[in-house]
Chains A and B, each alone.
Chain A
Amino acid sequence: MERLLKFVYEYRAFFTFLFLELTCAWLIVENNQFQSSAYFNSSNRTAASVLGFSQGVREYFSLSTINKDLARENAILRTALEQRNQRIFAEQIPEIKDPLIGNRFEYLGAKVVSNSTQFYKNYITVDKGKLDGIEPGMAAISISGAVGKVKTVSDHFSVLISLLHTDEMVSCVVKQKDYFGTAQWDGADARFTNLRYIPRHANPSVGDTVVTSGYNAIFPKGVLVGVIRSASLNEESPFWDIQVALAQDFSKLSFVELVKSNLKHERDSLESITISEIR
């Protein structure tokens, strides 16, 4: 025993090294799992306020762009509302009766505190948290399009997985042609993402719009992801090779809306019952 202790003491540097590296490796693995609740990340209050300060300085210089975007969104929403009102009036379409279906999705505005685009795994920190009703798994969208989903929350802040994260997959559909695929970033260019698993018999063409499919209950149906930039078909590959130009410029992200799906639990539990019955 004494000799063992002596041995450990002799090589204490190496053992400390080993211990710390194993701790780090464990942290990395833990962090890669979706929806972990971690305290030591940028949703930590002190860290977020430090990051918020530098974001505030940067935001000051892009105020005019932000204002322009907001005005544009207001105009679009006003037009859509007016069109809808006219249609209801002209065609006597009854309003949706079930308020639960009508209020399926709730939107909460949040400000971006920290954001990155250059890593392989990019995260976004926003200034709304558990106390505002944010939960892991909620979707984040912006004026221009889909942004990501919530990974961890603290009381006042939350960390989102950006669409620019090599492990993040979003179920998408090519709008005019109704082919389903999965958007996944390859880690290279922050302006483009890839649309995978579009079968050979499909005929996507450059300029087609790609929107979320609503199949995974996180994103609402029909949120814009981007526009097809190039599509090619390899001789032996079973799927198309499609590059999509992202609608949202992630380097200029300053406000996002978090989407709360009120019927998510009901849908998930129904689907899990079905899955367990199959087994």
Chain B
Amino acid sequence: MIRSGIVHIVLFFMYVLVQAMLLKNLVLFDSAFCFLYVAFVLLLPFELSTTVTILIGFFVGFSIDIFYSSMGLHAFATVLMSYLRNYWLSVITPQGGYDTGNSPTIATNGVQWFLVYAIPLVFIHHFVLFFLEASSFDMFWYTMLKIMGSVLFTMTVIIFLQFLVPQRRKI
């Protein structure tokens, strides 16, 4: 438990630094953003309570906000996503349930399950983020284009990283 905690603290700093230094500058076609940091919340262990997940989500979002000069914006979207995460997890429980100590990754539950799990949550995060930033529905379709492009980009990178970094399957 303690070891997993330390690993997650290190991961937290890695996600934030990668986001601030690398992915902040990486925007495809001026419309597709990569908010990889959501993966930190998505890949937290199953047995974490909703309250703790929300708090972690808040700290991740808030750290990102500092680098994007956008007070509260990322925090708002990430807290909402973290709140919905555990409910969504219980809705899509596979037969036999989850193994405690595991994380919702491709390695534990397969690609198809992971897509069903991650895409709606990432979409909600991006939807709230972009419309909150625009603070109007004036350019609805342009904002939707940004959201769709970013969901695609973020999901591709999240899935890519899981194949790239070998995951140990805890039994």
Contacts and interface: CB of A to CB of B under 8 A. Distances in A.
A51 interface: yes
A74 interface: no
A159 to B, nearest CB: 5
Interface in A1-43: 12-13, 16-17, 20-21, 23-28, 30-32, 38, 40-43
Interface in B34-71: 49-51, 54-55, 58, 61-62, 65-71
Q: Which of A17, A21, A187 has the most CB of B within 10 A?
A: A17
8 contacts: A20-B79, A24-B73, A30-B72, A50-B17, A54-B21, A54-B22, A116-B24, A120-B133
Contacts of B22: 54
B150 to A, nearest CB: 10
Contact of A28 (B20, B21, B73): B73
B72 A121 contact: no
Interface string B25-41: 10100110100000000
Nearest to B27: A118
A162 to B, nearest CB: 10
A177 interface: no
A119 interface: yes
Given A40-B66, A50-B21, A25 B72 contact: yes
A188 B138 CA distance: 11
A247 to B, nearest CB: 19
A56 to B, nearest CB: 11
Given A40-B65, A42-B68, A51 B139 contact: no
Contact of B71 (A21, A31, A53, A190): A31
For chain A, give the interface size range.
Answer: 35 or more
Contacts of A47: 20, 66-67
A188 B54 CA distance: 33
A121 B50 CA distance: 32
A261 interface: no
Contacts of A30: 71-72
A21 B76 contact: yes
Contact of A20 (B27, B58, B73): B58
Interface of B: 17, 20-22, 24-25, 27, 30-31, 33, 49-51, 54-55, 58, 61-62, 65-73, 75-76, 79-80, 83, 86, 132-135, 138-139, 142
Determine the main DSSP class of B at the interface with A: helix
Nearest to A55: B25
Contacts of B73: 24, 28
Contacts of B20: 47, 50-51, 54
A271 interface: no
Nearest to A120: B134
B133 to A, nearest CB: 5
Given A21-B79, A58-B25, A50 B72 contact: no
B55 to A, nearest CB: 7
B72 A118 contact: no
A85 to B, nearest CB: 43
B133 A42 contact: no
B21 A21 contact: no
A111 to B, nearest CB: 16
